[in-house]
Amino acid sequence: VSIKQITGRDYDPVSLAKDLCDKLFIRYQQLQSLGADRIMEDYNACLYKKGEVVKLRKENRVFEAKVVGVNKFGQMEIEHGVLERVEFGEVGWVL
């Protein structure tokens, strides 16, 4: 899938690459000056479905849980009676 297919618009690849490099450099500077905690705060502020109850699948079980956030180890934290930390690929979204 390309950006053009998603947006229906044409883009200049060189311009996009420069823009991406600029954004990455800004984040790198923030990481150096503010530390990783600020990056994690920003990441969690934009996290898909954060604070919402969603349906998830773990192995052959479907359950509902609230998306709490992502911790510094990259684990998604979900709450369904108890707080659980799951690794990437351990659960799937049920749409």
pLDDT at 63: 97
Q: Give the Cα separation of 10 and 6 in Å (integer).
A: 11
**pTM value?**
0.76
Does the domain spanning 47-93 belong to CATH 3.40.50.1970? no
The band of 7, judged by pLDDT with boundaries at 50, 70 and 90, is very high
Q: Give the Cα separation of 11 and 32 in Å (integer).
A: 31
